[in-house]
């Protein structure tokens, strides 16, 4: 016959449709930022931020998968809907708030200057005579741009923070300005010494937040609920201690 057939998947009348399986939310992260996010030898994305988001997701009842996403373009991937949320040691700034929404803050950071041991650098202003490496488009880039002038050719912009620090080791730049946690970790684990850090009280405290697409209030509420939950039950403190000591 040529009669129309019911599609095989159509539920019989009266049978309640099975609930749609929960979608796995895609988390973008620039995984070249140890100890916050990096890729281990098995290609898994690991780190403090990763553990925090996994715990938040578990608390708030959603599933996540992490996708390595270069910093350049990470905010765009959120705006385009290619990523549902971002965790990437992202500092909450007023400028970024215009194009995305942030969770409550989950970590405090500050810029830190890395130089050779023998560099005559005591405070931020002293780097004015040096070639300075930063990760392009970060808050480190911003503060250095403010001090030296955005288009000053003494500023060398790198795709990742480790690349900037490698160039410090190689002598191509004489200073790097980046988030304290990453600078300290890199110098301790990737160099044989010879470098020091210089802090400066003019650097403001930076608050890391988890970003969602502007207007995604529902997901934001769940993330905040998860963050509150893992703070209240001690999970956050445990994760923090396992990376940074108590
Ligand atoms: N906190 C700085 C910023 O938001 C640097 C973050 C870089 N993160 C990364 N995973 N590469 O600009």
Residue 1 lies inside a defined structural domain of this protein: no
pLDDT, residue 87, reads 99
Q: Looking at the structure, do residues 182 and 117 belong to the same domain, yes or no?
A: yes
Residue 203 CB–ligand 1 contact under 6 Å = no
Q: Looking at the structure, do residues 152 and 83 belong to the same domain, yes or no?
A: no
- Whichever domain contains 36, its CATH number is 3.40.190.10
Question: Averaged in consecutive runs of 10 residues, what is the pLDDT profile of the chain (246 residues)?
Answer: 48 65 91 98 98 98 97 98 98 98 98 97 97 98 98 98 98 98 96 94 97 98 98 98 92
Q: Looking at the structure, do residues 116 and 194 belong to the same domain, yes or no?
A: yes
Closest Cα to atom 5, ligand 1: which residue?
138
Q: Looking at the structure, do residues 168 and 180 belong to the same domain, yes or no?
A: yes
> How far apart, in whole angstroms, are the C-alpha atoms of residue 137 and residue 116?
24
33 phi, psi to nearest 5 deg:
-150, 55
Residue 33 CB–ligand 1 contact under 6 Å = yes
Residue 49 CB–ligand 1 contact under 6 Å = no
pLDDT, residue 23, reads 87
Q: How far is the CA of 20 from the centre of ligand 1 (A)?
A: 36
Nearest atom, ligand 1, residue 31 CA: 10
Number of domains, the chain: 2
Residue 111 CB–ligand 1 contact under 6 Å = no
pLDDT, residue 4, reads 46
Residue 6 lies inside a defined structural domain of this protein: no
pLDDT, residue 14, reads 61
Q: Looking at the structure, do residues 151 and 117 belong to the same domain, yes or no?
A: yes
Q: How far is the CA of 133 from the centre of ligand 1 (A)?
A: 14
Cα angle 78-41-88, degrees, rounded to a multiple of 5:
25
Q: Residue by residue, what is the 3-state secondary structure of the chain?
A: CCCCCCCCCCCCCCCCCCCCCCCEEEEEECCEECCCEEECCCCCEECHHHHHHHHHHHHHCCEEEEEECCCCCHHHHHHCCCCCEECCCCECCHHHHCCEEECCCCEEECEEEEEECCCCCCCHHHHHHCCEEEECCCHHHHHHHHHHCCCCCCEEEECCHHHHHHHHHHCCCCEEEEEHHHHHHHHHHHCCCCEEEECCCCCCCEEECCEEECCCHHHHHHHHHHHHHHHHCCHHHHHHHHHHCC
Residue 59 lies inside a defined structural domain of this protein: yes
Q: How far is the CA of 89 from the centre of ligand 1 (A)?
A: 5
Residue ending a domain, among 161, 178, 198, is: 198
Q: Looking at the structure, do residues 141 and 180 belong to the same domain, yes or no?
A: yes
Q: How far is the CA of 29 from the centre of ligand 1 (A)?
A: 10
Q: Looking at the structure, do residues 193 and 214 belong to the same domain, yes or no?
A: no
Domain containing 186 equals 111-198
Residue 5 lies inside a defined structural domain of this protein: no
**Contact of 175 with 127, CB cutoff 8 Å:** yes
Residue 12 lies inside a defined structural domain of this protein: no
Task: Kindly list the distances between the CA atom of residue 121 and the CA atoms of 46, 127, 174, 195, in Å, as whole numbers in the listed order.
Answer: 34, 7, 10, 12
Residue 66 CB–ligand 1 contact under 6 Å = no
Residue 141 CB–ligand 1 contact under 6 Å = no
pLDDT, residue 22, reads 73
Residue 216 lies inside a defined structural domain of this protein: yes
Closest Cα to atom 12, ligand 1: which residue?
138
The ipTM is 0.98
Question: Among 47, 85, 41, which residue's Cα sits nearest to residue 63?
Answer: 85
Residue 60 CB–ligand 1 contact under 6 Å = no
Q: Read off the pTM.
A: 0.91
């Amino acid at each position: 016959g040529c009669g129309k057939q019911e599609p095989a998947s159509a539920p019989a009348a009266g049978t309640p449709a099975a609930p749609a399986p929960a979608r796995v939310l895609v988390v973008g992260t620039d995984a070249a930022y140890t100890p916050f996010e990096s890729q281990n030898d098995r290609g898994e994305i690991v780190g403090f931020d990763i553990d925090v988001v996994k715990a938040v997701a578990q608390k708030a009842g959603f599933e996540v998968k992490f996708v390595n996403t270069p910093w350049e373009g990470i905010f765009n991937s959120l705006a385009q809907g290619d990523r549902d949320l971002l965790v990437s040691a992202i500092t909450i700034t007023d400028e970024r708030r215009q194009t995305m929404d942030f969770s409550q803050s989950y970590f405090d950071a500050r810029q830190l200057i890395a130089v050779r041991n023998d560099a005559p650098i005591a405070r931020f202003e002293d780097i004015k005579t040096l070639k300075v490496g930063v990760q392009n488009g970060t808050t480190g880039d911003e503060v250095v741009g403010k001090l030296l002038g955005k288009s000053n050719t003494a500023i060398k912009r790198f795709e990742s923070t480790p690349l900037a620090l490698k160039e410090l080791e190689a002598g191509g730049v004489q200073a790097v300005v980046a988030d304290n946690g990453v600078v300290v970790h890199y110098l301790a684990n990737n160099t044989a010494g010879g470098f020091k850090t210089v802090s400066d009280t003019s650097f403001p405290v930076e608050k890391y937040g988890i970003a969602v697409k502007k207007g995604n209030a529902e997901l934001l509420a769940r993330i905040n609920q998860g963050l509150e939950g893992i703070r209240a039950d001690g999970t956050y403190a445990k994760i923090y201690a396992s990376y940074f000591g108590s």
